[in-house]
Structure 1
Amino acid sequence: MTDHQNTPELRFSEFKDEWKLYSLKEIGNFKNGINKDKDSFGCGFPFVNLNDVFNGKKIQLKDLSLIDSTIKERKEYNLLKGDTLFIRSSVKPSGVGLTKVIENDLKDTVYSGFLIRFRNTNLAINFKKVAFHTTSVRKQIISFSSTSANTNINQDSLKKVKIRLPFIEEQEKIGNLFSKLDRQIELEEEKLELLEQQKKGYMQKIFSQELRFKDENGNEYPEWSIKKLKDIAEIIGGGTPSTKDDTYWDGNINWFSPVEIGDKDFVNESQKMITEKGLRKSSAKLLPIGTVLFTSRAGIGKTAILSKESTTNQGFQSIVPKENLLDSYFIYSMTSLLKRCAERVGAGSTFTEVSRKQMEEIKI
């Protein structure tokens, strides 16, 4: 909002009116969901649970679980187009009060007691999808929540949440804009999924040698051979500088831990950094660009390729390809095979762990 009036800094040019401030109590009503014993689940009528709100999918009847509900319950806890479901209880504070908007009437459907239904008539559906996720609203919800074993929020607290609203015409235009953007994201994600499937298909054919490439002269490449990792790569573990010495930390050398690995093909920036002194005074090793990081403990077999010289803690047995013998992305593409082999040979008293020597003996 601008400093001088209650209008957004960016808006469609045809709208000039100020946005008005309302509490949710003023514009709608709340109702907690249904509570049933465990024997009621598994058959009966559709039931919206916590996970249906947490996941990023549209709520549809075909995806819902079932619960044994009465006619009275289905009337009292019904879900109509435009209803908003708030998460009442979450393990993490960031999850409390997250919402999902019901986009179509859900016949004979009830919702969980871990959810709170908000019903109103003066908010555009697509506008609601974004309005309850703004920084202002989220801060209020989290500040009004209480924490014990879980983080919880109740109806009385939600009623106090304040939100600025334009007239319905502007709501609809804003909501439609974000709806189109969401649809574009969905289409791009579908394309990405198709590419991932295509990649897996090619990998299957290539590594089974069903599909073979030829050189620039059209000749077949030599037959594949089986090698131990130690013959084509160096396996290097990691280490941790003493946390009691501040001079070892907050330097300019990357220091990766296993929790940072698994979401990206290439990594070049770690959450924690160490100094040159920290590197010298620990068993951490500076790994070259092209190293394939390989987690060696619980959560074994997560991989990423270094695009910058870095170090790791002791939860890795990283693969440094030998020049002209192994390509980084080739061995990275074999992550699934390496993971299966490492899990099979790994041993630990309290959890599975693969050692450097065991990694070296893996055949590919």
Structure 2
Amino acid sequence: MSKNVPKIRFEGFSREWNSTILGELVNISSASRVHKNEWRNEGVPFFRSSDVISKYMKKFNTPVFISDSLYQNLSKKSGKMEIGDLLVTGGGTIGIPYLIENAEPLYFKDADLIWFKSSDIIDGRFLFNYFVSPQTRRYISSITHIGTISHYTIEQGKNTPITLPDTEEQQKIGSFFKQLDDTIALQQQLVEQQQQYKKAMLQKMFPQKDERVPKVRFDGFIGDWAEKTLVEISKIIMGQSPNGKNYTDNPEDYILVQGNADMKNGRVVPRIWTTQITKTASPGDLILSVRAPVGEIGITDYDVVLGRGVAGIKANQFIYQTLLRMKLFGLWKKLSTGSTFDSINSNDLKNIILLVPSLEEQHKIGTFFKQLDDTIAHHQKNHENYQQLKKALLQRMFV
């Protein structure tokens, strides 16, 4: 098979892809200089590399703007961006693309971003996915200067190699990845919606400050919730770190849990192992971080050794959701102390006062939130699976 043919291809396409450099296909330039004192709180959006990276990572970044009059003046010099154009980060986290998908005015920071002008030869969405393909990420990483900060320059952009098919196949590939990106975004939205719903229900189904009954309650339950210390309703085991010389990377040894780095999405994730047993926890036990950050909590599916940074708690789902609620709403802060970093000692942890209903109502509440957690985990898994699928297809659908 020719090296200029991808491993996975849409039916009806068989011609070899053509190899060239980006400077032969599109005009590549930057913007006119905009000084920081010309930034505004409203007006025409002004993109920096941090804005492109935030868009790519689906995260928020505080926007900045420039005045419309400045935008018009600068655009006369450098031109206006159009649908299908691409901005690519040239400093810091390099080679991250942003595709222009509408005709709304937009300007950008010179040197921070490189402007790849659209053309009839290359589809903008194909070019976007070309930049995020593993092959291109490796190439850009290999040519950029590593020092205090990496740089991807206009000249390097012009000399960046690309192998591509005719525009019809480009559009097919671009549209396919757009649909896949939309599916990934939908799964992320479902996760966030369910997380927000859970947060709202944690507020409503637990008593508020200075109250003894929740706003929302299952039918058949009445009466005040009772005050109990954590040690009265659970068994607490404070961690004790093994000797560091006994740490290993052998999965046949004992899993060591030391802090929030060993937990993801509310579950323990094996990361470090040890040959020495100190304090232990069993499958189903809660694992709570007691050193910065205090209050991170998860459930272990394994027999684990508890390090100094965590405590093991034998308790039910209701207690788990109660402690998780304390983290979500910042209720650990007043309990944790420490000059270098926050921590909570054994006595303070044991004497935390919680409001609890009857065991039957605890079970109802715990089951409700467990089902909600399972739904969130399902959407998170789908989101991760689609991300992995995209990563694999980017490897196999580009040359």
The TM-score normalised by the length of structure 2 is: 0.76
Give the equivalent residue in structure 1 for 2:273. Answer: 273
Please say if residues 341 and 362 of structure 1, whose CA atoms lie closer than 8 Å, have aligned partners that are also in contact.
no
- Other-structure match for 1:324: none
Aligned twin of 1:36: 34
**1:156 aligned residue:** 155
Query: 5+ unaligned residues in a row in structure 2: which ranges?
Result: 208-213, 355-399
Letter in 2 for 1:241: P
Counterpart contact for 2:290–2:310, Cα < 8 Å: yes
Question: How far off is 1:304 after superposition?
Answer: 1.3
Tell me the distance in 2 between the aligned counterparts of 1:244 and 1:147.
34
Moved more, 291-300 or 257-266: 257-266
Could you tell me which residue of structure 1 aligns to residue 218 of structure 2?
A: 213
Distance in 2 (alpha carbons) for counterparts of 1:47 and 1:123:
26
Matched, 1:109 2:107: yes
SS of residue paired to 2:332: helix
Query: Which consecutive unaligned segments of at least 5 residues does structure 1 have?
Result: 322-326
Asked if 2 retains the 8 angstrom alpha-carbon contact of 1:301 and 1:338, the reply is yes
Q: Which has the higher helix share?
A: 2
Secondary structure of the 1:304 match is: strand
Matches within 5 A, 1:253-292: 253-260=254-261, 263-267=264-268, 269-275=269-275, 278-279=276-277, 284-292=278-286
Structure 1 segment 301-312 matched on structure 2, within 5 A = 301-312=295-306
Q: Deviations over 1:83-111 (max 9, x none)?
A: 11111111xxxx32111111123326344
**2:158 alignment partner AA:** K
2:306 counterpart of 1:294: no
Taking the aligned partners of 1:223 and 1:81, their CA distance within structure 2 comes to 61
Determine if the alignment matches structure 1 residue 349 to structure 2 residue 339: yes
Is the CA contact (8 Å cut-off) linking 2:262 and 2:271 kept in structure 1?
no
| CA deviation profile, 1:183-222 (whole Å, cap 9, x unmatched) | 22223333333322332232222113222225xxxx5377
Aligned pair count? 338
The match for 1:10 among 3, 8, 33 is 8
Correspondence list, 1:75-94, <5 A: 75=76, 76=78, 78-90=80-92
1:57-104 Cα offsets, whole Å, 9 max, x none, are 699xxx9521253543233163221111111111xxxx3211111112
Of residues 104-113 and 146-155 in structure 1, the stretch that sits farther from structure 2 once superposed is 104-113
Distance 1:337 1:11, change over 3 A: same
Task: Give the percent of matched residue pairs that are identical in Structure 1 and Structure 2.
Answer: 24
CA shift in 2, pair 1:129/1:146, >3 Å:
same
- Taking CA–CA contacts closer than 8 Å with sequence separation of 6 or more, which of the two structures ends up with the larger relative contact order? 2
Q: Does 1:146 align with 2:145?
A: yes
Relative to the length of structure 1, the TM-score reads: 0.83
Asked whether the equivalents of residues 288 and 310 of structure 1 are also in contact (C-alpha less than 8 Å), the reply is: yes
Deviates more, 1:306-315 or 1:252-261: 252-261
CA contact (8 A) 1:145 1:151 kept: yes
CA distance 1:207–1:58, change in 2 (3 Å) = closer
Partner of 1:157, secondary structure, is helix
Shift of 1:263: 4.1
